[in-house]
């Protein structure tokens, strides 16, 4: 049972933290690209939009799926709690509280990863819209 607790704690929460780091790395790379991109140098709006939106799906996917990964950790934590209670045959308050705390920790981390990723995704997509508007204006339309 201790191994299962470690899988839930380190596996689920570790996965969420890894995804969070990946999303932040993509966001930083995109910000750097947006700061140096010259929309006037592009001849095609489609090509510009393709380059501007490259890898933004990573951030959106992390934002969309982090709560579900946290929920998976919650379900696994509650299953762990029930398994411990069933194995011991006693209603141990400590076992219940430890299991529920683990479950809630996974939920909190999932939400804590999703919220900033949604904000990052929205902010970056706003920059894309502004850059595309600059391109349209430069093209005379």
pLDDT mean across residues, the chain: 91
The pLDDT of residue 65: 97
Taken in order 114, 117, 122, 125, the sign of the CA dihedral is negative
Residue 2 banded pLDDT, cuts 50, 70, 90 = low
Higher pLDDT, 84 or 107: 107
User: CB of 113 within 8 A of CB of 62?
Assistant: yes
């Amino acid at each position: 049972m201790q191994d299962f607790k470690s899988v839930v704690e380190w596996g689920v929460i570790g996965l969420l933290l890894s995804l969070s780091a990946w999303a932040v790395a993509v966001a930083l790379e995109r910000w750097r690209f947006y700061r140096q991109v010259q929309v006037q140098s592009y001849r095609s709006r489609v090509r510009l939009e393709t380059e501007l939106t490259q890898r933004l799906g990573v951030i959106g996917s992390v934002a969309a799926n982090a709560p579900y990964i946290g929920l998976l950790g919650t379900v696994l934590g509650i299953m762990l709690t029930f398994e411990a209670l069933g194995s011991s045959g006693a209603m141990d308050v400590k076992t219940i509280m430890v299991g529920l705390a683990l479950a809630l920790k996974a939920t909190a981390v999932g939400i804590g990863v999703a919220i900033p990723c949604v904000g990052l995704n929205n902010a970056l997509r706003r920059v894309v819209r502004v850059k595309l508007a600059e391109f349209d204006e430069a093209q005379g339309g």
